[in-house]
Amino acid sequence: MRMRRKPWTEIELAACPFMIDQPSTHIGRWREFFKKDQPVHLEIGCGKGVATAQMARAHPEINYIAIDEVRHVLAVSVRNVHAAYGDMPVENIVFSAVDAMMIHDTFNAEDGIGRIYISFPNPWDERAKHHKRRLTHPRQLNQYRAFMKPGGEIWFKTDDDALFTATKRYFREAGFEVTYMTDDLHASGFEPNYLSEHEMLYMREGKKIHFMIAKMNDGGMKDMGNFFEKNAGALESFTRVSTEVGLRADYVQGGGGNTSAKLADGLMAIKASGYCLKDIRPDRAYAVLDYEALRKFYYGTDPAGLEDVEKAGSDQAKANTRVIEGLPSLRPSVEAGFHSILDTYVAHSHSVYANLCTCSKELPGIAQKALEGADYTWGWVPYVDPGARLTFSIRDELKRVEAETGRRPAAIFMQNHGLIAHADDPDACVRIHTDVNDRIARAFGLQNGCFPKVSVKDLGGGLCAAECPYLSEALKSGAFTEKFLLESPLYPDQLVFLTGSFAFGAGAPAEGMALYDPDTGAVTFNMPAAKAQVIAETLCAIVFIVKNIEANGYTLSTLGEKAKQFIANWESEKYRKSLAGK
């Protein structure tokens, strides 16, 4: 039930010395409002401030910030604080009108919030898809992480069973550890517990109150000082691995594939989404994450217990992405999860040679024969959509191979996707990646490096054309129809780069399009040359893979309808496509 507006609200708030207006202008400077430099706690959704006033009055050694989005409710809170303090000066509490959904605009790490209180918030019915507005939803928890101190806590109370159950999951997904929990707060004897009007009403009605304390993992905020100096050697090696793989169109096309390197302090550098491997340098084109926290999530979580596996993984990646001074804040690869559980250096490519194997239904047998006698072990996973589920699948395959061979697989084939090579030494990582491709190429009667040269020629007027006789001859043969190229994809990147950007037809292509003219055999582009190069390489890779699989008598494996729908609706790939070739 909503409280009626009070005619005296604005008059009293304007006269209140501890009511802070224009909160977003004070971001990073909230400590300046207090006379004493002491721990700061934040109450989100303080309501009438009955419990707030009791708590602040009882703990003068703590500074409190209490927020609510309704100003006339805050006016009542101010009156309750005056009543609780009496003649004593109010020096350890301030109020402000803040929309909790936009709380990231109000506080940052400089404010150093040590504890957050969330009591009896709106439960927002999950069935009505309003659950993202919950104050304990991972989207909110990730905002809180940005301004909480390491080891900071959230104290949460509710009478709503469904919200409490969901919040336990939310805390886990966002990297918080529940350190205390009870389903009957008043019977538990837990102290201190300050009662709001809601809680007093529930007590009279005999309702049980759920309560938990969740602690933000200390790894959530690490010291980023001297990042580049501390990681100079590892970043140079990361750059070298990335460029050695990324400079070859037969290993990656456009922004495909990714690389990573484990750094000091439990951090990991990983190629940023939308960038090319060849772009990576010690100071650009990658994001930094807390891989220890990610690894803990993936090794400590049963995906069967997650309501939305992909969302949980995405929330973990967002929560554990770190801001480094002097490094642009970029979006990490969606595959950061599996990089976190692998060795120090990781190279994941969409190599046309490895994909001869991964795009064949006979994948395990081909790999077994090709890698016989290798000084490393290998594994494979059936096709799984990129993201958290793929990470869990790779996790399980690592365990399986190690249990069978006594060694973690250094090479992993992902059906209809690509190859992963990893090692604790950067040179070993590159060597394993090269050796796998050498062996698979030979298994198909080829040599590593035989992929046709692909380039684009400027035609003027914003147009360019593909220059690749191998591609032109294959398209003119009629074996690769528009329907096949657009509706029978071998791997996700084929969908990402061709859908909505490639078609068959005569004449000049529309802006942003690539057009194959069956009459002339020309592939013409009306787009920047860099994007045209990505599409040309992608088309050539598809042709190369299909022709050589069929020539060797194997069965082509393509993505099913479910996988196609997932990629088509995947926001991360739309983002990557939007940056391709920039």
Quick check: 502 pLDDT over 80? Answer: yes
Amino acid at the residue 325: E
Task: Tell whether 259 and 137 lie within a shared domain.
Answer: no
Amino acid type, 168: K
Note the pLDDT tens digit of each residue in 144-185: 988 999 889 999 999 999 999 999 988 887 878 888 999 999
In this structure, the answer to whether residues 386 and 520 fall within a common structural domain is no
Instruction: Say if 325 falls within a structural domain.
Output: yes
402 phi and psi angles, rounded to 5 deg:
-65, -35
Q: Is 321 in the same domain as 360?
A: yes
Model confidence, pTM: 0.63
The answer to whether residues 415 and 508 belong to one domain is: no
379, 413 Cβ separation under 8 angstroms: yes
Statement: residue 489 has pLDDT above 60: yes
**pLDDT tens-digit map of 533-567:** 999 999 999 999 999 999 999 999 999 998 888 88
Query: Considering 443, 464, 488, which residue would you say is the last residue of a domain?
Result: 443
Say whether both 398 and 508 belong to one domain: no
pLDDT of residue 254: 79
What confidence tens digit (pLDDT) does each residue in 275-313 have?
899 999 999 999 999 999 999 999 999 999 999 999 999
| CATH number for the domain that contains residue 172 | 3.40.50.150
| Domain shared by 105 and 17, yes or no | yes
CATH code for position 246: 3.40.225.10
CA neighbor of 313 nearest in space, from 414, 205, 392 = 392
Closest CA to 248 of 145, 165, 347: 347
151: containing domain: 9-220
Beta-carbon contacts of residue 58 (< 8 Å; ≥ 6 apart): 192, 194
Instruction: Tell me the average pLDDT across 417-445.
Output: 97
Domain assignment of residue 4, yes or no: no
Average pLDDT, the chain: 91
What average pLDDT score do residues 411-437 get? 97
What is residue 328's predicted lDDT score, i.e. its pLDDT?
A: 82
Write out the DSSP string of 510-529.
PTT-EEEETTTTEEEE-S-H
With respect to residue 449, please indicate whether it lies within any of the assigned structural domains: no
Considering the domain boundaries, does residue 3 fall inside one?
A: no
Same domain, residue pair 202 and 276: no
Classify the C-alpha dihedral 134-137-143-146 as positive or negative: positive
Looking at residue 128, its pLDDT comes to 58
Q: Are residues 308 and 410 in the same domain?
A: yes
Could you tell me if residue 501 is inside a domain?
yes
In a domain, 33, yes or no: yes
Q: Which residues contact 544 (CB under 8 A, 6 or more apart)?
A: 352, 451, 452, 470
Q: Does 425 share its domain with 504?
A: no
Asked which of 172, 194, 220 is the last residue of a domain, the reply is 220
Could you give the 3-state DSSP secondary structure of residue 46?
A: coil
Shared-domain flag, residues 124 and 24: yes
- What is the total count of domains within the chain? 3
With 80 as the cut, is the pLDDT of residue 225 above it? no
Judge if 193 and 251 occupy the same domain: no
Say what the pLDDT of residue 105 is.
85
249 and 336 share a domain? yes
* Over residues 555-580, mean pLDDT: 70
Cβ atoms of 135 and 121 within 8 Å: the answer is: yes
Which of 172, 199, 220 is the endpoint of a domain? 220
